[in-house]
Amino acid sequence: MDTFHELRNTKLGPALVKALEARHFEAYYFADLPPAAEKVFSLIPQEHVVSWGGSMTAGAMDLYAEAAKRGYKLINRDAAKSPEEKVELMRQGLLCDTYLMGTNALSEDGQLVNVDGNGNRVAALCYGPRQVIIVTGINKAAKTLDDAIARARNWAAPLNVQRFAANKTPCNISGTCGDCKSAESICAQVVITRLCKPAGRIKVIIIGQDLGF
């Protein structure tokens, strides 16, 4: 990352933290991944059962393997041996203690925007787990709420869908959102988290890097 990006991030990151705190999120900014990962684990009591929704950023931080290494009890849908078991583990994940996830976008006034197909990730964000820890690159920041929604729908979703070769939605064919009503759509839910309630339940860790989509 060049000096000008780094310089901008040292200004924008703390401003995003303030905007999130004004909406009752707990929020932190780190320039680099290793201290951000340490912060994540400092927020998780050892007795917590940990689960997660798919996140490129959490993957880049190696959070899942590290959680296993640190001895947390995990609900790991990726270890499922059948689609049925995977669904069951996703259901169980909704009542874990700590849920790890990313966000598709974050407006400069501190609102989160997430698009989801099955809805398990946004369900956990809204209610269920005792706490949710969001890890996000600063590239997810958008100027306004409308910009954040546009980012999630027009940028993140058509990129995310590329991970599923069998998915035949318009974005996976053309590379751009066709505002589809397909049963395969990964955009069934568009969730705006306007406030964190109860206060502090959602922790947002912003990293001054380009991470994920």
Choice between 135 and 161, CB closer to ligand SF4: 161
Minimum Å gap between C-beta 203 and ligand SF4 is 28
CB under 8 Å to 87, separation ≥6 — which residues?
none
- Provide the strand spans (E) within the chain: 26-30, 49-52, 73-74, 98-101, 105-107, 112-116, 131-137, 141-142, 189-193, 202-207
The phi, psi pair for 168, rounded to 5°, reads -110, 30
Cα-based distances in Å from 118 to 155, 190, 205: 19, 11, 24
Choice between 27 and 177, CB closer to ligand SF4: 177
Pairing of strands 112-116, 105-107: antiparallel
Interface with ligand SF4 (CB under 6 A): 157-158, 161, 169-171, 177-180, 182, 185-187
Minimum Å gap between C-beta 116 and ligand SF4 is 10
Minimum Å gap between C-beta 65 and ligand SF4 is 30
Minimum Å gap between C-beta 185 and ligand SF4 is 4
By the 8 A CB rule, do 20 and 204 touch? Answer: yes
Choice between 8 and 163, CB closer to ligand SF4: 163
By the 8 A CB rule, do 55 and 102 touch? Answer: yes
By the 8 A CB rule, do 89 and 75 touch? Answer: yes
CB under 8 Å to 187, separation ≥6 — which residues?
115, 116, 117, 153, 157, 177, 180
Minimum Å gap between C-beta 110 and ligand SF4 is 25
Amino acid at 112: L
Minimum Å gap between C-beta 125 and ligand SF4 is 18
